């Protein structure tokens, strides 16, 4: 697999994780339960480790850094439950969440080269509407 494809797949995981966490949050507010947070702890750890290891093979410095930070963010996110982040004080919890949720923005960087190659458009014109549209689809419709 070429580099752009691997980065696209890693970034797509971040997009799917983003969409599923929005869906889970909405279900929780409606009093329903979801198994995604328990599953995600392990999938984030695996994808995060793969991302960090893969980043060591990327020759382009900016993509190497984005991929490594993406992997670290997912690894940190996978530790949310075991570290008991929900019991931390507000400031520490917010700082943890900024680091742990940075995978969302970093997923855009990972998907950008493949999106540009596939569409010929600037990735921002495709990816930002995709993420915002997903947010609207999950939270914007009241059923």
pLDDT digits (tens, 9 = 90+) for 91-132: 999 999 999 999 999 999 999 999 999 999 999 999 999 999
pLDDT on residue 48: 97
Q: What is the pLDDT of residue 37?
A: 81
> What is the value of pTM for the model shown?
0.90
Cβ–Cβ under 8 Å, residues 22 and 134: yes
**Phi-psi category of 88—alpha, beta or left, where left has phi over 0 and alpha has psi -120 to 50?**
beta
Token readout for 124 is 């921002």
Main-chain phi, psi angles of 56, to 5 degrees: -70, -15
Question: Which two structure tokens, joined as six digits, stand for 64?
Answer: 């190497």
pLDDT for res 91: 95
Number of helices (H) and strands (E), helices first, in the chain?
7, 0
- pLDDT < 50: residue spans in the chain: none
CA distance linking residue 74 with residue 78, whole number of Å: 6
Phi-psi region of 142 (alpha: psi -120 to 50; beta: other; left: phi over 0): beta
33 by Cβ neighbours in 10 Å (0-12 / 13-18 / 19+) ranks as exposed
């Amino acid at each position: 697999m070429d580099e752009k494809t691997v980065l696209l797949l890693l970034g797509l995981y971040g997009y799917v994780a983003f969409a599923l966490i929005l869906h889970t949050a909405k279900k929780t507010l409606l009093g329903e339960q979801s198994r995604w947070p328990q599953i995600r702890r392990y999938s984030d750890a695996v994808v995060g480790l793969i991302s960090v290891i893969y980043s060591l093979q990327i020759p382009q410095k900016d993509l190497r850094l984005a991929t490594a930070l993406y992997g670290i963010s997912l690894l940190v996110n996978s530790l949310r439950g075991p570290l008991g982040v929900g019991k931390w004080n507000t400031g520490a919890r917010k700082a943890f969440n900024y680091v742990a949720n940075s995978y969302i923005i970093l997923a855009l960087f990972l998907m950008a080269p493949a999106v540009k190659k596939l569409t010929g458009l600037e990735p921002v014109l495709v990816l930002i509407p995709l993420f915002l549209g997903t947010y609207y689809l999950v939270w914007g419709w009241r059923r």
